[in-house]
Structure 1
Amino acid sequence: MRKLFITLIILSTSSTLLSQEKEKEKNIGTEVVNVVKPYSPTLSDAFKIKETPRLDDSVTAAKKKISYNIFSVPVASTFVPAKGKATGLKRAPRESVYNSYASLAVGNYNNATADFYTSRALNRDETLDFSLNHHSSQGGIDGVELDDKFFKTKLAAAYNRDDRYIDWGVEGGFSHQLYNWYGVPLGFYDESTLNSIDEKQSYYTANLGADLVIEDSFFTGGDVSLRYFFDAFSSGESNIVLNPKFELPVGEEWINLNLSLDYLNGKFDRNYYTTEQLKYSNLITKASPNLVILKDDLTVNLGATVAYKFDIENSDSDIYFYPNITASYRLVQEYVTVYGGLEGDLKQNSYHGFQEENPYISPTLNILPTDKTYDGYVGVKGKFLPNLSYNLRGSYINESNKPLFAMNPETGTINYNTEGYAYANSFGLIYDDITTISVFGEISVDVNRDFQLGINAEILDYNTDDEEEAWNLPSIKGSLFMDYQINNKWFLGANIFYTGERSGLFRQDTGTNPGETFNMQVVDLDSFFDINAKAGYRINDQFSVYLKANNIANNEYTRWSNYMVQGFQVLAGVSYKFDM
């Protein structure tokens, strides 16, 4: 059978080869093929082979029939199955939210603080807020020869409305502050002279402002503010600031354009040596276009600022150009980011601003803007750990007309000026061109909502153009803060401030040429720590009691020349939350 099969294959192959050879010799010619109907296969053309398997297993054994009986025996038992119950998640009690808050605290030196705040939702889109803050002390610093009491009271209100595409709000307020020029040189004046000094000064501020945010518009919003500031010596200052913002398309990019108008006008009833009025009036306008470039881990802001200053009082004008360039690059995700920048600005100085920084200035100032030509800086920031962040920055700053606080000359004894601030107990301004080298570093720990810790320090080196020293500017600054929510009842907080050594200037007019010849002496001001802490206990959702301790080291340091501060202070207070 096998030989027959092989023979058939050989014969079939041979006939095929002979047939192909004959076809080569034959002329194929032409034929016409008519397609009557194209073939369109359908599902019915295919068929599935059905096969029913046949079980032929000699191992399969036939099932045996089993008969069995259940033998029940009663058992004595008291067990009763309990009905199953699903276990749910235990929810924490919802914290009550109140729209109003009030607190009051009193302590030694006859210190008192009072705070009130309320926020009322008029409807889902509108809110109305009110606040009142007060801090006062009757004084009592050891060794002070004049009255050292003070108080600060501020009332504010705000209205906000949030619409679909426009958010806007208005705010206003009024404040009253009282201070005393108590920093006369100790032992310098006799008792009759001290009794003749009227050292009291009062400051008043009224302000009104509005802000606007618009979505999907070239005009994205802005803000406007109006402020009037005056004192008990007939000084007055008006300030109007307008800051509109725009977003303009340029090709495929968007350019942000920030405009600014800052108008300042003021007067002092007299200057330091004569009764002639001091007037000042400056208008500063700015245009700051900038382009933001985002590419992977790189962010670059390319911009510039053009500022125009018009000295209305002296009919003088100038134009200033400043860089506004910043960049940052993320090297290692959120752990390492390097950044740098080159920026500048023209700052509008004001009587109000100087008073906020040093309340013991005299109402006889020469007000000038400060030209910050450039501020170049480089730094690195990021995280050591997910809850441990850092920031390190070095900068080089060049400023023209930088204001320095310097003690006014003593003139009370030679009768050029016998006002309460003319006894070497007030500060004036000296302007100088200064370059500053700064190294700044900070570390913050944010374990969770219950514990936060931060520390920062800055080392500064000043190079003055005309003055011997950068008066009253510290070479080192640092601070530490801590907040700890121990549990839902107890909370704790602390902060520490460090200010390095400074140099002050004491000047006594010789009386030969008023305002020109002085006996001058550099006064070294020691560095100091100011340690403060607060602990509190929540009685319930509404009531809390707390204890505050300030200047715990009882260091009666000198904040300004001849101005010692209060020593160890303790305040006990209570706070209350409620709905109005």
Structure 2
Amino acid sequence: MRKHIKHILVLAVVLITTIAFSQNRQNDTINTGVIDVVKPYTPTISDAFKVKETPSLDDETTETKKEIKYNIFSFPVASTFTPAKGKAATVEKQAPEKLYDNYATLGLGSYTTILGEVYLNHAISRNESVGGYVSHHSSGGDIEGVSFADSFSNSKINLNYASRLRDLAWNVEAGFQHQMYNWYGVPESQVAQALNNGIDVGHSFYEAHFGGDISFEDTYINSGSFFFRRFGDNQGSGENRLKIQSTVDVPINGEEISTDLIIDYLGGSFDRNYFTDEELSYGNFQIGLSPSYELKQDDLTVNLGVSLFYLSDKESGKSKFYIYPNFTASYRLVNDVLIAYGGIQGDLIQNSYYGFANENPFVSPTLFIMPNDLLYNAYVGLKGKLSSNMSYNISGRYISDRNRALYKTNVVRNVTPEHGYDYGNSFGIVYDNVDTFSAAGEINIDVNRNFTLGLKAEYFTYNTDDEAEPWNLPDFKGSLFLDYQIDEKWFAGANLYYVGERKDILEMEGSLTPEANVPAVLDSYFDANAHVGYHVNEQFSIFGKVNNITDKAYQKWQNFPVQSIQFLAGATYKFDF
């Protein structure tokens, strides 16, 4: 307490003294002067320094770290909880469709039409299989306005065996075919005479073949094949053809040149030519070599090649060498949306009686057979995808043919006809140099997995050297295809064809009257076909077809009308052994 009193007294004395001194200054009469010192202001910037985010501490407490020990005191706890096992969520999916190795189809329709087909396949082992098929299509004819038999039939049988090993795969096949047609297209001016003579307009073909092919893995020899065919008819005609082909890779300076080697022999004879009883024989032997080299760089692909052929005509004893270009290229301008392509190619095409008869079954057995010298086929185009389900293809081409085969109606004989094809109701072959320009467009739409649509159109112009017209070549072709899987059971489809005008001629033997030999114009025609079907179960289906819906007996060939509207119904059964 005494210490506090002492401090209080000292503070009081200091305060009184200060007050007294202040009062003395107030009474001072001395005048004081004011001196202002002026100095320019010169600012300065001190050095900046960065403050450390983690300051250094030097105290003993910080430097000395204490060791911390963690101890867990665990003891068991009784529990009756049992966690459920995890289970993946299931997604409902459709069961995969059962695929069968065999099927049989049978259909019956108007004009006494019969359609049948059986396909069989059996796996002998994991690497071997054997199969075959039998098919038949026939019709009784009965075309309105036709005075002669107009039925047709086409029957085939084929057997095959296939084997696949580790480094190679091979198969062999053999088959037989029989076809029957009639030269029913007798011009109106010749119908009475043909009926009086009681001509037989029937014409049948037969064909037997045997062949095989083999392919290799990781070798310079990629593949090889051979094929032999015997073809003939009931008019004494016969033809043999043997074709051997191989593809090999030839290494040159570290690069591989893909090379095709072709050996093709064709020989045959007809009992007579069209005007005389002299036998008509032909024989062509050719060897072809086609090397090509592929260059790829980014979006550009180029194939550089050439085709070399040696042709020997066995009947005339003449031989000749042919050289053709073989260049193709494509460039992706915009990925898969826009692809430009083009090329120029040539070929020596081996014509045959078999090929002519299958394209036009109304040819006469009096043909002169020679190869087609295709000088070049130059083309350019654009293709790609407009969307994920729509593709297109636009192209233009210029083709130069030498000795192109043209179908032309045979001359009407003015002597007593001896054969069923002498009345202007059959077709012969004439050869001419033909230049062709064409422009084509194609579009394909896959709306979904169940609906597809395709449309194609092509326009042609021709120029011939010797013949007055490009006989039986159309100026326009168009087609539309449609397939629709309505649901799991129902399905439907349609196909439409349009063929433009063609020209032919009907000539009388020995006639010099120009009016009698005027080219005839064959009208364009439109053919619409549709079908619908129902899957009764996974093995059994029924279907119905309607052909030539427009009900027009148009002429595909001069004086050969086709059947009008046709109906057909049938069933298909799939099975396994």
Judge same fold: TM > 0.5, yes or no.
Answer: yes
- Residues 206-234 of structure 1 deviation map (CA, whole Å, 9 limit, x = unaligned): 01111110111111121110000010001
1:45-124 correspondence to structure 2 within 5 Å: 51-52=65-66, 87-124=89-126
Q: CA deviation at 1:381?
A: 0.4
Aligned to 2:7: none
Q: In structure 1, the residue corresponding to 2:356 is in which secondary structure?
A: helix
Aligned to 1:32: none
Aligned to 1:139: 141
Aligned to 1:543: 540
Distance between the aligned counterparts of 1:198 and 1:388, measured in 2? 52
- Residues 235-274 of structure 1 deviation map (CA, whole Å, 9 limit, x = unaligned): 0000000001110222232110101011000000011111
Q: In structure 1, the residue corresponding to 2:357 is in which secondary structure?
A: helix
Q: Structure 1 residue 149 and structure 2 residue 146: aligned?
A: no
Q: CA deviation at 1:375?
A: 0.6
Kept in 2, the 8 Å contact 1:510–1:519? The answer is no
Q: CA deviation at 1:119?
A: 1.1
Residues 50, 524 of structure 1: alpha-carbon distance in 2 compared, 3 angstrom cutoff: farther
Q: In structure 2, the residue corresponding to 1:189 is in which secondary structure?
A: helix
Aligned to 2:463: 463
Q: CA deviation at 1:517?
A: 11
Q: Structure 1 residue 566 and structure 2 residue 535: aligned?
A: no
Q: In structure 1, the residue corresponding to 2:191 is in which secondary structure?
A: coil
Distance between the aligned counterparts of 1:191 and 1:458, measured in 2? 41
Distance between the aligned counterparts of 1:409 and 1:269, measured in 2? 19
Aligned to 1:528: 525
1:228-377 correspondence to structure 2 within 5 Å: 228-377=230-379
- Gapped regions of structure 2 (runs ≥ 5): 1-62, 69-83
* Alignment equivalent of 2:553, drawn from 552, 556, 564: 556
Q: CA deviation at 1:510?
A: 2.3
Kept in 2, the 8 Å contact 1:279–1:313? The answer is yes
Kept in 2, the 8 Å contact 1:360–1:427? The answer is yes
Distance between the aligned counterparts of 1:191 and 1:510, measured in 2? 18
Residues 192, 494 of structure 1: alpha-carbon distance in 2 compared, 3 angstrom cutoff: closer
Distance between the aligned counterparts of 2:126 and 2:448, measured in 1? 32
* Alignment equivalent of 2:410, drawn from 408, 411, 414: 408
Distance between the aligned counterparts of 1:162 and 1:476, measured in 2? 45
- Residues 165-191 of structure 1 deviation map (CA, whole Å, 9 limit, x = unaligned): 101110110000000000001253326
Q: CA deviation at 1:445?
A: 0.5
Distance between the aligned counterparts of 1:559 and 1:204, measured in 2? 24
Kept in 2, the 8 Å contact 1:507–1:520? The answer is yes
- Residues 539-579 of structure 1 deviation map (CA, whole Å, 9 limit, x = unaligned): 00111000000000101100000000000000010110111
Distance between the aligned counterparts of 1:239 and 1:138, measured in 2? 32
Kept in 2, the 8 Å contact 1:504–1:525? The answer is yes
Residues 166, 207 of structure 1: alpha-carbon distance in 2 compared, 3 angstrom cutoff: same
Distance between the aligned counterparts of 2:453 and 2:153, measured in 1? 31
TM-score, scaled relative to structure 1:
0.84
Percent identical pairs in the alignment equals 45
Q: CA deviation at 1:111?
A: 0.8
Distance between the aligned counterparts of 1:346 and 1:50, measured in 2? 99
Kept in 2, the 8 Å contact 1:173–1:206? The answer is yes
Aligned to 2:58: none
Distance between the aligned counterparts of 2:224 and 2:448, measured in 1? 36
Q: CA deviation at 1:158?
A: 1.2
- Residues 377-410 of structure 1 deviation map (CA, whole Å, 9 limit, x = unaligned): 1111001111110001110110000011000011
Residues 109, 194 of structure 1: alpha-carbon distance in 2 compared, 3 angstrom cutoff: farther
- Residues 78-136 of structure 1 deviation map (CA, whole Å, 9 limit, x = unaligned): xxxx9998642223123222211001111111111001101111111111111111100
- Residues 506-540 of structure 1 deviation map (CA, whole Å, 9 limit, x = unaligned): 1110279xxx9994221110001100001000000
Kept in 1, the 8 Å contact 2:194–2:423? The answer is no
Q: In structure 2, the residue corresponding to 1:119 is in which secondary structure?
A: strand
Distance between the aligned counterparts of 1:276 and 1:313, measured in 2? 14
Structure 2 letter corresponding to 1:495: N
Aligned to 1:19: none
Aligned to 1:498: 498
Q: CA deviation at 1:295?
A: 0.9
Distance between the aligned counterparts of 2:435 and 2:326, measured in 1? 19
Distance between the aligned counterparts of 2:368 and 2:87, measured in 1? 81
Aligned to 1:397: 399
Q: CA deviation at 1:447?
A: 2.6
1:413-428 correspondence to structure 2 within 5 Å: 413-415=414-416, 417-428=417-428
Give the greater-gyration-radius structure (CA).
Answer: 2
Structure 2 letter corresponding to 1:95: E
Distance between the aligned counterparts of 2:412 and 2:551, measured in 1? 30
TM-score, scaled relative to structure 2:
0.84
Aligned to 1:75: none
Structure 1 letter corresponding to 2:115: T
Aligned to 2:507: 507
Q: In structure 2, the residue corresponding to 1:188 is in which secondary structure?
A: helix
Q: In structure 2, the residue corresponding to 1:210 is in which secondary structure?
A: strand
Kept in 2, the 8 Å contact 1:509–1:518? The answer is no
Structure 2 letter corresponding to 1:51: K
Residues 484, 523 of structure 1: alpha-carbon distance in 2 compared, 3 angstrom cutoff: same
Kept in 1, the 8 Å contact 2:190–2:423? The answer is no
Structure 1 letter corresponding to 2:447: V
Q: In structure 1, the residue corresponding to 2:111 is in which secondary structure?
A: helix
Structure 1 letter corresponding to 2:490: W
Q: CA RMSD in A?
A: 2.0
Residues 85, 350 of structure 1: alpha-carbon distance in 2 compared, 3 angstrom cutoff: closer
Q: In structure 1, the residue corresponding to 2:517 is in which secondary structure?
A: strand
Q: CA deviation at 1:195?
A: 5.2
Residues 192, 284 of structure 1: alpha-carbon distance in 2 compared, 3 angstrom cutoff: closer
Distance between the aligned counterparts of 1:85 and 1:316, measured in 2? 82
Distance between the aligned counterparts of 1:128 and 1:85, measured in 2? 46
- Residues 117-163 of structure 1 deviation map (CA, whole Å, 9 limit, x = unaligned): 01111111111111111100001110001100000000011111111
- Residues 55-75 of structure 1 deviation map (CA, whole Å, 9 limit, x = unaligned): xxxxxxxxxxxxxxxxxxxxx
Structure 1 letter corresponding to 2:478: G
- Gapped regions of structure 1 (runs ≥ 5): 1-48, 55-81
Aligned to 2:478: 478
Distance between the aligned counterparts of 1:449 and 1:239, measured in 2? 43
Distance between the aligned counterparts of 1:544 and 1:362, measured in 2? 41
Structure 2 letter corresponding to 1:527: S
Aligned to 1:126: 128
Structure 1 letter corresponding to 2:165: D
Distance between the aligned counterparts of 1:576 and 1:328, measured in 2? 45
Aligned to 1:452: 452
Residues 478, 102 of structure 1: alpha-carbon distance in 2 compared, 3 angstrom cutoff: same
**What is the aligned length?**
501
Structure 1 letter corresponding to 2:436: T
Q: In structure 2, the residue corresponding to 1:507 is in which secondary structure?
A: coil
Distance between the aligned counterparts of 1:518 and 1:273, measured in 2? 23
Distance between the aligned counterparts of 1:381 and 1:84, measured in 2? 52
Kept in 2, the 8 Å contact 1:370–1:400? The answer is yes
